[in-house]
Amino acid sequence: SVVVSVTGMTCNSCVSTIESEVGKQNGIIGIQVSLSNEEANVTYDPVVLTEEKIVEFIEDLGFDAKIANGNTGLKREILGERGQTNRKAPSHNTANLWYTVVLNIEGMTCDACVNSIQTTLCKLEGVNNIQVSLQNKQGVAQFNPLSINPTQIVDAIDEMGFESSISVGGLRKRTKTAKISIEGMTCNSCVQTIEHQIGSYTGVESINVSLDNKEATVDYNPELITLDSIKDAIEDMGFDAAIKYGVVESPSCNARSKVNKRKKVAPKQTKLEDLTDVAVPMEKDVERCFINVTGMTCASCVNNIERNIGREEGIVSILVGLMSGRAEVKYRPSIIDTTTIVQLIEDLGFGASIQDGSGKGGQTELNITGMTCSSCVHGIESRLQEVDGVTYISVALATSSAIVKYDPEVLGVRDIISLIEDCGFGASPRSHDSRVGALDHRVAIQQWRRSFLTALIFGVPVMVIMIYYMASGAHNNPYLIVPGLSLQNLLMFLLCTPVQVYGGKYFYVQAWAAVKHRMANMDVLIVMTTVICYAYSVILLIVSMIQQAQGSPKTFFETPPMLFVFIALGRWLEHIAKGKTSEALAKLMQLQATEAILVVFASDNTTVEKEESISVDLVQRGDYLRVPPGTKIPTDGKVVEGTSMADESVITGESMPVTKKAGSSVIGGSINLNGSLLMQATHVGSDSALSQIVRLVEEAQTSKAPIQQVADKIAGKFVPGVIILSLLTWVVWVIVGYTNPALIMTSHRFLSSHEMTFRFAFQTAITVLAIACPCALGLATPTAVMVGTGVGAQIGILIKGGEPLETSHKVKTVVFDKTGTITHGEPRVVHERLCTTEEGGSVMSLRHLMAIVGTAENASEHPLGAAVVKRAKEVLRVETLATATNFKGIPGCGVQCSVSGVQALLLNSNNAVTTNQSFPHKHNIITCIFPLQIEPKYELTTVEKTTLSQTSTYEVLIGNREWMQRNGISIPDSIDDAMSEQEECGYTAVLTAINGRLEGMIAIADTVKAEAALAVHTLQHMGIDPPEITHINPYQAGIRNVYAEVLPSHKVGKVRQLQEKGHKVAMVGDGVNDSPALAQADVGVAIGTGTDVAVEAADVVLIKSDLMDVVAAIDLSRHVIRRIRLNFVFACVYNLIGIPLAAGAFYTLGVVLEPWMGSAAMALSSVSVVTSSLFLK
């Protein structure tokens, strides 16, 4: 390594230029440039490069460079943020750094040859020892790699007249292997960053990081670097690291027999039998799929699926969402496939199907026509398997369909269909309507509506008969058809039997599937209640008729019909409400356009050959599409031609239409209001913004909040507990009836006290079964989470599941990153000041000045120059500026050039003439023609209007004070004071001189967003403290608590410090260097316009990049949690009061329930919880 002193750098752009350009050179291993220290730390290969050559590279870029005094030699610094040294690697005694190499030597004939080789080589600098074997024709040399390399040793032996070569696997180093556990990694980008950074350190032979196991396997030389240094380096990158396993030393060169037994399974990994302390990392063949699951009714069903499927070999994890009817399964495809998983779920008594596009890469499901036999299947499969880019294909003859997995970078759906058609078959994409139908519960609603109406046919007569006999007292004087059988019981039997046999078919199937797998759910309770009631009543009638009783017993025939009526009604209303909870997601999915107009160009790429309407599923990346006015934009892309306004409110929540012109990005699913657009597709299918939003919301609604996991565990034990409680109720009342008959004895002329006791005991036990409902408990959280995440998605707030939703309401501190979060993330002109005649100016108008200065800076690549250009275009209302020639940029000073064409620019600028402007209206577009009013400072002065045509070229200087003084431009005190005032505010002040006269001063800064102060004030009003991690003064945003000069690698530490104080912390950021802090925070909030890595690490994503949405997300979380708690109150109070009431605990007060009353109450509980969640809207 060498440290090079570099002068002339002015900004981070200079730093990036040096690092990127020098880093490309052959022989450069790594380079880190510090702007503040004005130096570069370069790691290079001395065999390829010299220090002088490195200095020459830097000077060729326009900077001054020289070797820093006393900074050459073997040195390595572990760098954190650009140019900031965090920690130095430990120094080493290079005299003890010895490697060993095994050499093959041919041509030796006697011991004199052996002695000659050993004597000669030991004299070489860097060779410590060599032992030569005449018998084995080999030599083992110990050498210092900093002084000599193995090739030079081989050359020295060859020069002595022998033939020598390095033995295969002969180079041996004293290497150790260790495991380091790493916390804070969120994606493969973190893995690659750690492997790249740590792998570049001297002494680290290899590093293999596993995201799944959260650990790194490191092979290193302890003489060059210590294990603690590696751990500290990982921590400096923003992750938590700890040494996990013992260190295993590699075999030395003397243990050659052991060395030969080692087998390289992966880079730097050894066999388990040789290195018992080293654990084999988890396989990386884990894939994820999503399965639509139907037939779930309560949390017991969820628990049933998760427990049984989770036991299967090859299943890594499974997460089932009751409300979304969806399971997320992580599995090992080498052990189990998705078809088997679906079959296992179906064996549990549920319906299951693979959700489209749930695998890795591209996937499509096609309908295929024309197949007649297995030969057709084989023909299609073999043809597509030969095609590059097709990774998997399965064709089913029975269903005339195919599932194809492919690489979207190589081919698309249209290409696959074309290949199938070339085989002589027809093919078309399968519709996604079923996916939307599953969300709105359309099928379930229709099923339970039919069930309710069917049950009602038998239930209404039963209710009428029951009310008649109760009101008239006719059951005490029954009309007997035969002895022991009354007319009432006969009618009840005839009405109950069809319902019991046919109406309960669905419940019997579901209950049997649950019992078969040793599970108990709501269906088991329903079947037990109805079967016991029916069987008890039938047996009682048979016994009564056999005994030729003078009366007829009191039966429970009314319970099954009434129970099925109320359950069907409850399930019908419940599914209607469930459909409304997922309404937001269903609307998002229905936003996708169904068709697109494909524009095909001729070979010259300018002439349109044809336009054809195709399915949006067939659109491929790079396709050109025509978007007529008033239609949906088919997919994400960029506008190539045309101007229009787009309504993106359905996706971003932004109510105002957004202008679209050439170069603008468009979002699939938004509406093109006016004007025709020609666009090029950039993201299609599952890669589009709309698809990713849908995926985030779907995953959020499948995930579980911690409070819901507790509820699911309770629900899993609930049904067995209720059955036991029902049996206890029966036993207790039987005992009470025999010990104290008077307590439960009611007058009935035909029933004995024993019969009344057993009847009452059965009534209370069955009512306990009928009234108990785990559904309300299981629905309390997911319904509220589904509504909450859906409402959030509609306003541009994507919350990734129940856990961040639950955690957000506890947040007491919100930490904002500055750049791109509190600020816009790019320099902007914030102030312009024109020089007066007393200050040396020519009384130039702002329009004139910006036309010249903007043109001059248009030739610069400096970020500050880009801000000036943008401001000039805003002032002039133009897209192109004039011409700059003889451009010269001096790093650290400014620019100099000649500008021409200003007269034409000013005369053709849009604010110089009458213009037409269109404004969107509710129903159409209103076009107005009027002259724009120009602000006085933009008006050309009288002198300018007369002299403008006389000046064709302007000599322009733009830069700092030093640049002006070097060019003979004097700076008045008033201008200097104005510059100082701007610089005190954290702005960059730039002077402009035209034709030798100082004309103005421009202040540039990364400005604070307009809504920042309001967002901070609102958070403070909510009792939340918003500190900021920043590099400049942010008080204009209203933030009182600031952490200044914080490196990205230390943001994690700041978040952790706040957490150690007991704060629940939310971190708001947008960049790659925010990802570790976002992952560390209790709630990570990513700005939607930020990087993919930041969005992946966050728990909440703000699509609009509006800071007020941070407030909205926390407020939404608080509302949802309040509703969840209210739902739990409904569910718990209902069961805590309902079950004792059903068990007859209040019988002495005259309150007792019939079984059909319990079923009505049970149905009401689920509906009340779901309806409560809907009030969130």
- What confidence tens digit (pLDDT) does each residue in 113-143 have? 888 888 888 888 888 778 888 777 888 887 7
Residues of 438-454 as b/e, b for ≥16 C-beta within 10 angstroms? bbbbbebbebbbebbeb
Contact 164, 106 (CB under 8 A): yes
pLDDT at 207: 86
Give per-residue pLDDT as tens, 469-486.
766 666 667 778 888 788
Mean pLDDT of 936-957: 68
Domains in the chain, start-ordered, CATH in brackets?
A: 2-88 (3.30.70.100), 94-172 (3.30.70.100), 176-261 (3.30.70.100), 595-689 (2.70.150.10), 797-824+1008-1103 (3.40.50.1000), 828-1005 (3.40.1110.10)
Give 924's pLDDT tier (boundaries 50, 70, 90): very low
pLDDT higher than 80, residue 878: yes
Phi, psi of 765 (to 5 degrees): -65, -45
**How confident is residue 854, by pLDDT bands cut at 50, 70 and 90?**
very high
What's residue 80's pLDDT?
33
CB atoms inside a 10 Å sphere around CB 127: 20
Distance CA 411, CA 408 (A): 5
In tens, the pLDDT along 597-610 reads 999 888 777 788 88
Q: What percent of the chain has pLDDT over 90?
A: 5
pLDDT digits (tens, 9 = 90+) for 1034-1093: 445 555 555 544 555 567 778 888 888 888 888 887 755 566 777 788 888 887 654 454
* Helix (H), strand (E), coil (C) string for 369-420: ECCCCHHHHHHHHHHHHCCCCEEEEEEECCCCEEEEEECCCCCCHHHHHHHH
Q: Mean pLDDT for the chain?
A: 75
Instruction: Please state, in angstroms and rounded to a whole number, the distance separating the CA atoms of residues 449 and 575.
Output: 10
Q: Which residues contact 509 (CB under 8 A, 6 or more apart)?
A: 349
pLDDT at 991: 94
The length of the chain, given as a count of residues: 1177
d(CA 326, CA 356): 12
In this prediction, residue 1032 has a pLDDT band, given cuts at 50, 70 and 90, of: very low
pLDDT digits (tens, 9 = 90+) for 554-587: 787 887 888 788 778 777 877 776 676 666 666 6
Unique residue bearing structure tokens 């088991």: 524
Q: Of 536, 452, 529, 455, give the one whose Cα is nearest residue 498.
A: 455
In tens, the pLDDT along 812-831 reads: 888 887 666 777 777 889 88
Statement: residue 713 has pLDDT above 50: yes
Per-residue confidence band for 74, with pLDDT thresholds at 50, 70 and 90: very low
Angle at 888 between CA 852 and CA 984, to 5 degrees: 70
* 503-551 pLDDT tens trace: 777 788 878 866 776 666 677 778 888 888 888 888 888 888 888 877 7
With 50 as the cut, is the pLDDT of residue 259 above it?
Answer: no
Tell me how far apart the alpha carbons of residues 903 and 952 are, in angstroms, rounded to a whole number. Answer: 8
pLDDT at 175: 65
So which residues are the catalytic ones? Answer: 817
Q: In this predicted structure, what is the pLDDT of residue 299?
A: 63
Q: CA-based angle 1153:1156:1159, to the nearest 5?
A: 100
Query: Which tens digit of pLDDT belongs to each residue from 370-392?
Result: 665 455 666 787 788 888 888 88
Predicted confidence at residue 13, as pLDDT, reads 66
Looking at residues 94-104, what average pLDDT do you find?
A: 65
Place of tokens 């440039």: 33
CB neighbour list of residue 34: distance below 8 Å, 6 or more residues apart: 15, 40, 41, 82, 83, 84, 85
Residue 297: pLDDT band with limits 50, 70, 90: low
Per-residue pLDDT of 41-73, as tens digits, reads 888 877 678 888 888 888 888 788 888 765 443
The reported pLDDT for the residue numbered 290 is: 83
Q: What is the pLDDT of residue 75?
A: 36
Predicted confidence band of residue 1002 (pLDDT cuts 50, 70, 90)? very high
Q: What is the pLDDT of residue 998?
A: 92
CB atoms within 10 A of CB 723: 18
Strands 390-396 and 1065-1069: unpaired
808 with 1113: CB under 8 angstroms?
yes
Q: How confident is the model at residue 993 (pLDDT cuts 50, 70, 90)?
A: very high
Structural tokens at position 915? 């213009």
- Report, as an integer, the average pLDDT of 840-869: 86
For residue range 152-174, what is the model confidence (pLDDT) as tens digits? 888 888 888 788 887 655 454 45
pLDDT winner (highest mean) among 429-438, 496-505, 659-668, 917-926: 659-668
Q: What is the mean pLDDT of residues 654-662?
A: 80
Q: Is the pLDDT at 254 greater than 50, yes or no?
A: no
pLDDT at residue 268 is higher than 70? no
Whole-number pLDDT of residue 189: 65
Give me the amino acid identity at 737.
Answer: G
**Lowest pLDDT segment from 87-96, 550-559, 656-665, 978-987:** 87-96
Q: Does the structure show a pLDDT above 60 at 405?
A: yes
Q: Across 10-14, 25-29, 112-116, 332-336, which has the greatest mean pLDDT? A: 332-336
- Asked whether residue 1125 carries a pLDDT value surpassing 80, the answer given is yes
Predicted local distance difference test score (pLDDT) of residue 899: 92
Model confidence at 761, pLDDT cuts 50, 70, 90, reads: confident
Between 667 and 715, the higher pLDDT residue = 667
Residue 702's nearest CA partner among 797, 811, 585, 588 is: 585
Give the number of C-alpha atoms closer than 13 A to the C-alpha of residue 264, restricted to the C-beta side: 4
- Given this model, what pLDDT does residue 823 score? 76
The band of 3, judged by pLDDT with boundaries at 50, 70 and 90, is: confident
pLDDT score at 700: 62
Q: Which band of pLDDT confidence, cut at 50, 70 and 90, is reported for residue 916?
A: very low
Residue type (1 letter), 1048: P
Q: Is the pLDDT of residue 625 over 90?
A: yes
What's the pLDDT band for 408 if we cut at 50, 70, 90?
confident
Q: Are 27 and 50 in contact (CB under 8 A)?
A: no
Q: What percent of the chain has pLDDT over 70?
A: 75
